[in-house]
Chain A
Amino acid sequence: MSEVKAPAARRQKQAIGEGPLTRAALLGVALVFLGLMLIAPLLVVFVEAFSRGFGVYIDALAMPDTMSALQLTLLVAAIAVPANLVFGVAAAWAIAKFDFKGKSFLLTLIDLPFAVSPVVSGLVFVLLFGANSALGPVLDDMGIKILFAVPGIVIATIFITFPFIARELIPLMQQQGSSEEEAAVSLGAGGWRTFFLVTLPNVKWGLLYGVLLCNARAMGEFGAVSVVSGHIRGMTNTLPLHIEILYNDNKAAAAFAVASLLAMLALITLAVKTLLEARFAGSLAAQRRH
Chain B
Amino acid sequence: MSASAPDGARASRWRRRSVLPGFGLSLGYTIAYLSLVVLIPLAGLGIRSATLGWNEFWAIAFDPRVTSALELSFGAAMVAAIINTIFGVLVAWVLVRYKFPGRRWLDAAVDLPFALPTAVAGIALATLYAPNGPFGIALESLFGVKVGFTSFGVTMALIFVGLPFVVRTVQPVLEEIDRETEEVSATLGAGRWRTVTRVILPGMLPAILTGFALSFARGVGEYGSVIFIASNLPYVSEIAPLLIVIKLEEHNYAGATAIATIMLVISFAMLFVINLLQAWSRKWFGHE
Contacts and interface: CB of A to CB of B under 8 A. Distances in A.
Interface stretch (A56-64, A137-145, A190-198, A200-208): A190-198
Among the interface residues A86, A123, A222, A262, which one has the most CB atoms of the partner chain B within 10 A?
Answer: A123
Given A17-B97, A27-B94, A252-B127, 12 more contacts: A7-B179, A34-B110, A86-B29, A117-B240, A118-B241, A120-B221, A127-B44, A128-B44, A217-B114, A226-B223, A265-B115, A288-B168
A275 B25 CA distance: 35
B224 A16 contact: no
Nearest to A131: B251
Interface in B95-133: 95, 97-98, 100, 104-125, 127-128
A132 interface: yes
B103 to A, nearest CB: 10
Contacts of B18: 97-99, 178
Contacts of A6: none
A158 B163 contact: no
Contact of A110 (B34, B41, B169, B288): B34
Interface string A235-249: 000011101100100
Contacts of B263: 117, 120
Contacts of A192: 1
Nearest to A156: B41
A4 interface: no
A266 B117 contact: yes
A38 to B, nearest CB: 5
Given A34-B109, A42-B112, A243-B119, A185 B16 contact: no
Contacts of A18: 192
B49 to A, nearest CB: 9
A213 interface: yes
Among the interface residues A110, A113, A115, A259, which one has the most CB atoms of the partner chain B within 10 A?
Answer: A115
Contact of B114 (A120, A213, A240): A213
Q: How large is the interface on B (under 10, 10 to 19, 20 to 34, 35 or more residues)?
A: 35 or more
Contacts of B110: 34, 38
A33 B165 CA distance: 16
4 smallest CB-CB distances across A and B, nearest first, come from: A220-B117, A117-B221, A191-B1, A100-B15
B81 interface: no
B271 A186 contact: no
B39 A33 contact: no
Contact of B38 (A100, A109, A213, A247): A109
B196 to A, nearest CB: 8
Nearest to B14: A101
A262 B27 contact: no
A9 interface: no
B120 A132 contact: no
Interface residues of A, number: 113
Among the interface residues B34, B125, B165, B186, which one has the most CB atoms of the partner chain A within 10 A?
Answer: B34
Q: Secondary structure at chain A's binding surface: helix, strand, loop or mixed?
A: helix
A274 interface: yes
A91 B160 contact: no
Contact of B90 (A30, A213, A216, A217): A30
B16 A270 contact: no
A109 B39 contact: yes
B120 A263 contact: yes
B192 to A, nearest CB: 6
Given A119-B241, A185-B19, A227-B245, A220 B105 contact: no
A187 to B, nearest CB: 11
A123 B257 contact: yes
A50 interface: no
A101 B115 contact: no
B2 interface: yes
14 contacts: A27-B100, A41-B121, A42-B116, A90-B26, A100-B14, A126-B248, A185-B21, A216-B115, A219-B117, A222-B122, A223-B118, A241-B119, A259-B119, A259-B123
Interface string A64-94: 0000000000000000000000110011011
B65 interface: no
B256 to A, nearest CB: 6
Contacts of B120: 45, 220, 240, 243, 259, 262-263, 266
Among the interface residues B25, B94, B104, which one has the most CB atoms of the partner chain A within 10 A?
Answer: B94
A36 B91 CA distance: 13
Contact of B221 (A119, A216, A243): A119
Contacts of A125: 41
